[in-house]
Amino acid sequence: MIARQSFLHPDRCFSPEPAQREAARQLYNLVADLPLVCPHGHVDPRLFADPDYTFGSPTELFIIPDHYIFRMLYSQGIPLEALGIPRRDGGPVERDHRRIWQIFAEHYHLFRGTPTGYWLRDELANVFGIQEPLTPQNAQAIYDAIDARLRTPAYRPRALYDRFNIEVLCTTDPATSRLEHHQTIRASGWHGRILPTFRPDAVVNIDGAGWLHHLAELSEVSGVDIGDYRSYIAALEQRRAFFKQMGAVAADHAALSAYTEQLSSAEAETIFQRARRGTASSDDAVRFTAHMLMEMARMSVEDGLVMQLHVGSLRNHNAGLYERFGPDMGADIPVASEFTRNLRPLLNRFGSHPNFTLILFNLDESTYSRELAPLAGHYPAVKLGPPWWFFDSLNGMRRFFDAVMETAGLYNTVGFNDDTRAYPSIPARHDLWRRAAADWVAGLLVRHLIDEADAHAMVRALAYDLAKTAYRL
């Protein structure tokens, strides 16, 4: 278990109002040490396949892979090259990891008041034992302290899995993956529960970069000769069956909008063949993705994989950055979303099916009380995922609780998932959610809207039970 250090205030995230603060403390203490259930995230399974895996330098752990961090630094005019981010063309970038860490320390103030700053402070204190703020003056001493710990067996991923008290951790894997790291983990006999998640976006979004290449990979790995739409669907079904055999409980889908449409087989075939020839239009791409969301819902009804849908991110907004560094470089920007009309075809067909669970995530907070809460409060299949990405913050969580719970009800939400690549930050993210949840429930308790037994059940559900139930874990 992680010791909670005095460097972090014990009442962080709680209300300044004395009665609510005291109730929040008591509720938080009930759930603070429950195991972590991590049903959706982006930690590389390679970390757990090799029992001797090491994270490298502090810079390789904290800065180079984390777009939350380098996005903020880039916004203040620091080139990604100066932060050691690899370029697509192999061009020159800063190689001195101490120099990169110094730049980070000199700009650490940029993260004041942000969720990233909160996670960093918690991670430095509780995972690495750093009991002072990072400054330009102490940067190299803190670098040395973290570096020394990273060289020890206690800081290898499998050891941290136990220290973090993780019960289960789900990765996110492309549909074409052979899941070789998951197979290695299984064969090793290690007790950790690392499960794959089926992510088919690269082979579903026909306007995506390299779609034909990914289609060829899908054909190879599935053993299905894909020449038409029917064989394409068969290949996807084969991959889902393989993922489920390897322990997957969910599929994950990202789309710019929640638009769904059922195409006829002939229409789907026509668009599919245009895409294979490279002549599909932008309208073709929108309609095909909409149709494939319907197909993925059908497959989820049949195979039982929970369907996660993340809506509303315009990817690679900064064209120049994308050209130099590729995707996932922090230049994904939210757009306005609509769910009521866009999801109607899918929900009219599958929304009441007892074998279907659809977990919705979005980046347009205005839809929570207007659309998503009423949808989740009606359709048995619909559940609401926690605040995602730009909103997985204390204030984002508070707004979520206030916007959806009265209409959707607590039990039509799914608790928390950390949705991160930054493995050592997982405990900090869960702790923030548990504190926010305890404070919100405490507010209901001190206003006498619920009693103490209700409060205990609700805070436990938010911290642990809802995620296990929703993802059938």
What is the per-residue DSSP string for 271-285?
Answer: HHHHHHHT---HHHH
Same structural domain, 113 and 198: no
User: Are 356 and 413 in a shared domain?
Assistant: yes
Q: Which pLDDT belongs to residue 2?
A: 42
Residue written as token pair 């990169």: 100
pLDDT in 10s for each residue of the chain, 473 residues: 344 445 799 999 999 999 999 999 999 999 999 999 999 999 999 999 999 999 999 999 999 999 999 999 999 999 999 999 999 999 999 999 999 999 999 999 999 999 999 999 999 999 999 999 999 999 999 999 999 999 999 999 999 999 999 999 999 999 999 999 999 999 999 999 999 999 999 999 999 989 999 999 999 999 999 999 999 999 999 999 999 999 999 999 999 999 999 999 999 999 999 999 999 999 999 999 999 999 999 999 999 999 999 999 999 999 999 999 999 898 999 999 999 999 999 999 999 999 999 999 999 999 999 999 999 999 999 999 999 999 999 999 999 999 999 999 999 999 999 999 999 999 999 999 999 999 999 999 999 999 999 999 999 999 999 999 999 99
**Strand 313-314 versus strand 250-255 pairing type:** unpaired
Q: Looking at the structure, do residues 337 and 466 belong to the same domain, yes or no?
A: yes
Give phi and psi for 249, each to the nearest 5: -115, -10
* CB-count exposure of residue 216 (10 Å: 0-12, 13-18, 19+): middle
CATH number, domain containing residue 368: 3.20.20.140
Q: What is the C-alpha to C-alpha distance for residues 232 and 203, in angstroms, rounded to an integer?
A: 10
- By the 8 A CB rule, do 276 and 332 touch? no
Q: Indicate whether 99 belongs to any domain.
A: yes
- Whether 422 maps to a domain, the answer reads yes
Which of 260, 258, 250 is CA-nearest to residue 299? Answer: 250
User: CB neighbours of 135 closer than 8 A, spacing ≥ 6?
Assistant: 105, 108
The rounded distance, in Å, linking the Cα atoms of 400 and 256 is 21
In a domain, 64, yes or no: yes
Contacts for 22 with CB less than 8 Å, ≥ 6 apart: none
Task: Please check whether residues 180 and 219 belong to one and the same domain.
Answer: yes
Residues 354 and 433 in one domain: yes
Residues 166 and 183 in one domain: yes
pTM of the model: 0.96
Q: Say if residue 262 is in the same domain as residue 176.
A: yes
Domain boundary (155, 170, 192) is at: 155
**Residue 278: other Cβ atoms inside 10 A:** 9
Helix, strand, coil percent content, the chain, rounded in steps of 5: 55, 10, 40
Residues in contact with 244: Cβ distance below 8 Å, sequence separation at least 6, in sequence order? 303, 304, 305
User: Which residue do the tokens 């710019």 mark?
Assistant: 256
The Cα–Cα gap between 422 and 61 comes to 8
Tens of pLDDT, residues 224-268: 999 999 999 999 999 999 999 999 999 999 999 999 999 999 999
Which residue range forms the structural domain that includes residue 240? 18-53+157-470
Give kind and range of the element (H or E) at residue 166: strand 166-170
DSSP letter for 462, please.
I
In this structure, the answer to whether residues 204 and 312 fall within a common structural domain is yes
- 4 in a structural domain: no
Dihedral of the alpha carbons of 470, 252, 355, 372, in degrees to the nearest 10? 70
At residue 138, the 3 state secondary structure works out as coil
Structure tokens at 286: 């929108």
pLDDT, tens only, 167-209: 999 999 999 999 999 999 999 999 999 999 999 999 999 999 8
Burial pattern 220-246, b for ≥16 Cβ within 10 A else e, equals ebbebebeebeebbebbbbbbebbbeb
- How far does CA 117 lie from the centroid of its chain? 18
Do 206 and 299 reside in the same domain of the chain? yes
How many Å apart are CA 258 and CA 337, to the nearest integer? Answer: 7
Q: Which of 356, 338, 353, 418 is nearest to 385 (CA)?
A: 418
Query: Is residue 7 a part of any domain in this protein?
Result: no
- In the chain, the number of structural domains is 2
**∠ Cα 114 323 59 (to 5°):** 45
Distance CA 454, CA 446 (A): 12
Alpha-helical runs (H) found in 16-152: 18-31, 46-49, 58-62, 67-75, 97-106, 115-122, 139-150
Of 155, 172, 188, the last residue of a domain is 155
Q: Which of 136, 155, 174 is a domain's end point? A: 155
Claim to verify: residue 414 and residue 297 sit in the same structural domain: yes
Q: Which residues lie closer than 8 Å to 29 by C-beta, 6 or more apart?
A: none
Q: Measured between alpha carbons, how far is 405 from 309 in angstroms, rounded to an integer?
A: 20
Burial class (CB in 10 A: 0-12, 13-18, 19+), 179: buried
406 belongs to a structural domain:
yes
**What CATH number is associated with residue 80?**
1.10.2020.10
12 part of a folded domain? no
SS3 168: strand
**Pairwise CA distance, residues 296 & 304, whole Å:** 11
- Which residues make Cβ contacts (< 8 Å) with residue 460, sequence separation at least 6? 30, 31, 34
pLDDT at 6: 52
Residue 29 lies in a domain: yes
**Interhelix angle for 115-122 vs 426-446, to 10°?**
110
Q: Distance between CA 237 and CA 257 in Å, rounded? A: 24
| 48 and 112 fall within a common domain | no
215 and 300 share a domain? yes
